[in-house]
Structure 1
Amino acid sequence: MDVVLGGSLGSDRGHVLSTLPPETLDYLANLTGKSPERSDLWIEALTHGSMGVARDYQRLEFLGDRVLGLVIAEWLHEKSDAAEGKLSQRLNALVSRETCADMARAIGLSAHIRLGKQARDDGGAQSDNILGDVMEAVIGALFVERGFEAARAFVRKIWEQPMASGTGQRKHPKAALQEWAAGNRRKPPVYTLVAREGPDHAAKFTVSVEIKGVGTASATGTSKQDAETSAARAFMQAHG
C-alpha cells in the first residue's frame, strides 16, 4: 500500500513507520518546546487507521481526551466562580471535536498526519473527526512522554484563544432549542438522520429537526452530533 507522510509518498511501510520525517521532528520540537524522545509514540499519535498498521492514534486519543478534559476543567474552576451548570456548558464546548479540530488547524497539524493515500485524497486531512482525534492523541503522547505538567502547559498555550474569547459561554444550540420549545408549550424537538454520505474517515451527515406545529430545519456536519447542533441553530435562526 502506498502511503502519504507529511505530503510525500512512500511504499516501504516498515521503513516509513520507523522514523519521523525531519520536518515533523522540527515541527514537534517547536510545538512542544522539546524534541521528541520516543519516535514510536509520536508516530502512533499521528497515524490514522487508513495506514493499515497495528497501532494508530486511537489509544492515545482516548488518553488525551481525558487529559484535555481535566486540564480544561481545572482551568475553568480556577478562572470562574460560575455554577456547575455553566462550567459544564463551557467545558463541553472547549473539548468538543469542533474546537479540537479548530486548534489542530491553528497549529498546522494536518500537514503531519499520516494518512493512507485514499484517505488523504478524500479530504481526510481536513476532516473535523480526524483533526480533532489527532489533536487529542498529541496531548496523550505528550502526557505519556513528559507527564501531566507538560501536557497541562501545552493545552493552556494552545487553548488560550478559545478560553479568552468565551467559547461555550452561550448555551448549546440543542439546549437552547429544547428550552425554547418548552417555553412556547411545544413538544420537544425531534431529530432525524436524513442522509449519511462518504467514506468513514470523511463522512457527511444530514440531519433534520422538527418541532410539531412550528416547522423544520436541516443541516449537514462531519458527525451526527455536529449536524444536529447545526440543525438546531438553523431552526432557532428561522423560527426562534
Structure 2
Amino acid sequence: MKIAADTEDFARRLGYSFTRPELLARALTHSSISTKARPDNQRLEFLGDRVLGLVMAEALMKADRAASEGQLAPRFNALVRKETCAEIAREIGLGDVLRLGRSEMMSGGRRKEALLGDAMEAVIAAVYLDAGFDVARDLILRLWGARVNAAETVSRDAKTALQEWAQARGLARPEYVELRREGPDHAPQFTVEVRLSSGESATATTAPKRAAEQAAARTLLNRLEAKHG
C-alpha cells in the first residue's frame, strides 16, 4: 500500500519505517471520516494504551528499584495520561497528518488533546503490530525521553509544580491566558497559554478550562525540566 507524502514525512519524524503502511494510515484516521473501507483508529488506540502502559510500568520500576507501588502509581499516571500523549503528538507533528472529517477539522480537531492523545496511542499500536514489542518499547522510550526520570515531579499538580519551579528561580507567578474558546456551548474547547516572566510559554487545547490550564502548565514544566533539569 502506498501512503501519502505527508504521511511518509511523518513516519520519518517518528523514526520508524513501516513494513505495513496501512497500519499507520489507520492509526491516523479519526472516526469522523472513517468508512467500511477506511476503518478508524479506535481499536488501535485501545491496544496502544496497553502497550504504552506496560512499557512505562517496566521503565519506572527499572528507574527506581526502591520505589513502592504508592510512589510508582502517580508517576505512571503522569506518563500515560492523555495530556502527555498529546504533548508527544505535538512534538512530532502528528496533528498535521490526522485524517479528520470536515466538521472535526473546522472545530480545531488537529489541536484537541483527546484526538491527539488517542492518535498517539494508535500509532504506538501500529508500530507494535508491525514490528513487535521490543521495537515499540524502543520507540516509546525515545519519544518520552527525559519524562520518565522527571515523572516524580510532573505527577504532582502541574500548576502547583510550575509555580514552585518559577518561585525557586525568583520568577513571578505563572500567568494563564485564555486564547480561544471553540465548539458548541455545551462542549467548548479552550486554548490556554501559560507564560513565565522569563519569557517561556506553552499552550494547550482541551476542556474544561481548568484542564487546559493544567495541560499547558504540564507541557511547559516538562520542557523546562528537560532543558534545565
TM superposition score normalised by structure 1:
0.65
Determine the structure 2 residue equivalent to 1:25: 8
Q: How far did 1:85 drift? A: 0.8
Q: How far did 1:28 drift? A: 0.6
Determine the structure 2 residue equivalent to 1:45: 27
Q: How far did 1:83 drift? A: 1.0
* 8 Å Cα contact 2:78/2:84 also seen in 1: yes
Pick from 128, 133, 143 the counterpart of residue 148 of structure 1: 133
Larger radius of gyration: 1
Q: Give me the whole-angstrom Cα distance separating, in 2, the residues matched to 1:225 and 1:60.
A: 29
Q: Secondary structure of 1:115's partner?
A: coil
Unaligned 5+ residue runs, structure 1?
Answer: 1-17, 177-196, 206-219, 234-240
Q: Give me the whole-angstrom Cα distance separating, in 1, the residues matched to 2:93 and 2:104.
A: 18
Residues 60-99 of structure 1: pairs in structure 2 closer than 5 A: 60-80=44-64, 81-99=66-84
More strand by share: 1
Amino acid at match of 2:53: G
Q: Give me the whole-angstrom Cα distance separating, in 1, the residues matched to 2:188 and 2:7.
A: 27
Q: Does residue 104 of the first structure (1) align with residue 86 of the second (2)?
A: no
Q: Secondary structure of 1:82's partner?
A: coil
Q: Does residue 161 of the first structure (1) align with residue 133 of the second (2)?
A: no
Q: Give me the whole-angstrom Cα distance separating, in 1, the residues matched to 2:13 and 2:84.
A: 22
Q: Deviations over 1:72-115 (max 9, x none)?
A: 10000001021111111100010010100000011111111111
Residues 116-195 of structure 1: pairs in structure 2 closer than 5 A: 116-164=101-149, 166-169=150-153, 172-173=156-157
* 8 Å Cα contact 2:113/2:205 also seen in 1: no
Unaligned 5+ residue runs, structure 2?
Answer: 161-181, 191-203, 218-229
Work out the percentage of aligned pairs sharing the same amino acid. 41
Q: Give me the whole-angstrom Cα distance separating, in 2, the residues matched to 1:104 and 1:37.
A: 22
Q: Deviations over 1:136-194 (max 9, x none)?
A: 00000000010000000000000003223x134365449x9xxxxxxxxxxxxxxxxxx
Write out the 4+ residue segments of structure 1 that deviate beyond 2 Å after TM superposition. 167-174, 202-205, 220-230
Pick from 57, 63, 68 the counterpart of residue 41 of structure 2: 57
Q: Deviations over 1:36-80 (max 9, x none)?
A: 221321111000011032310100000000000000100000010
